[in-house]
């Protein structure tokens, strides 16, 4: 069934790390504190996403990403549960998982397609920058130890 977070490597950012980083970056890009929110992501097959698309949207066809907004405050965690993002890798086509994840996440936050393009770009860029700088500083630290 669901193969949670067991993703194939992406050329953009390492997938397991990227989920948290993308989430944080998206929250920051829209002026929210990442610590106040949570969102679930599920990876499913094309049959599974087709069934969900039919049940909830009346569209009997597979799609790349679906989002199911919740918006409930969870007193146990102190976070607002934004809802669920469902991604079908087989249906992703040219889109990266990172893009689909952010797309779904921003829908959960109530953003329209028109609004989300710039936010996705900003979030992606900040994650890439952080990974690049992280690698550079780790490299220079090792260099210093050798010298
Ligand atoms: Zn959409």
Residue 62 or residue 131, greater confidence: 62
Domain 15-146 has CATH 1.10.540.10: no
Distance 114 CA to ligand 1 centre (A): 10
**3-35 tens-digit pLDDT:** 443 454 444 444 545 578 899 999 999 999 999
**87-121 tens-digit pLDDT:** 998 898 888 888 999 999 999 999 999 999 999 99
Distance 53 CA to ligand 1 centre (A): 13
Strands 37-44 and 65-74: unpaired
Distance 65 CA to ligand 1 centre (A): 8
Tell me: pLDDT of 142 over 90. Answer: no
How is 81-97 classified by DSSP, letter by letter? EEEEEEEESTT-TT--H
Q: pLDDT at position 42, please? A: 87
Q: What pTM does this model have?
A: 0.78
Rounded-to-integer distance, Cα 137 and Cα 122, Å: 22
Where are the domains positioned within the chain? 15-146
Distance 106 CA to ligand 1 centre (A): 9
Rounded-to-integer distance, Cα 20 and Cα 38, Å: 10
Rounded-to-integer distance, Cα 43 and Cα 11, Å: 19
Rounded-to-integer distance, Cα 64 and Cα 46, Å: 8
Tell me: pLDDT of 127 over 60. Answer: yes
């Amino acid at each position: 069934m669901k193969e949670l977070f067991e993703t194939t490597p992406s050329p953009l950012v390492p997938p397991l790390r990227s989920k948290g980083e993308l989430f944080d970056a998206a929250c920051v890009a829209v002026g929210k504190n990442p610590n106040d929110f949570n969102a679930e992501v599920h990876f499913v097959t094309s049959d599974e996403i087709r069934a969900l698309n039919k049940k909830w949207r009346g569209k009997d066809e597979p799609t790349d990403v679906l989002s199911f907004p919740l918006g409930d405050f969870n007193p146990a965690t102190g976070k607002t549960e934004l809802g669920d993002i469902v991604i079908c890798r087989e249906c992703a086509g040219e889109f990266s998982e990172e893009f689909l994840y952010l797309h779904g996440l921003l829908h959960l936050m109530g953003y329209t397609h028109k609004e989300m393009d710039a936010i996705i770009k900003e979030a992606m860029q900040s994650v890439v920058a952080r990974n690049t700088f992280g690698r550079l500083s780790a490299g220079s630290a090792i260099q210093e130890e050798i010298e």
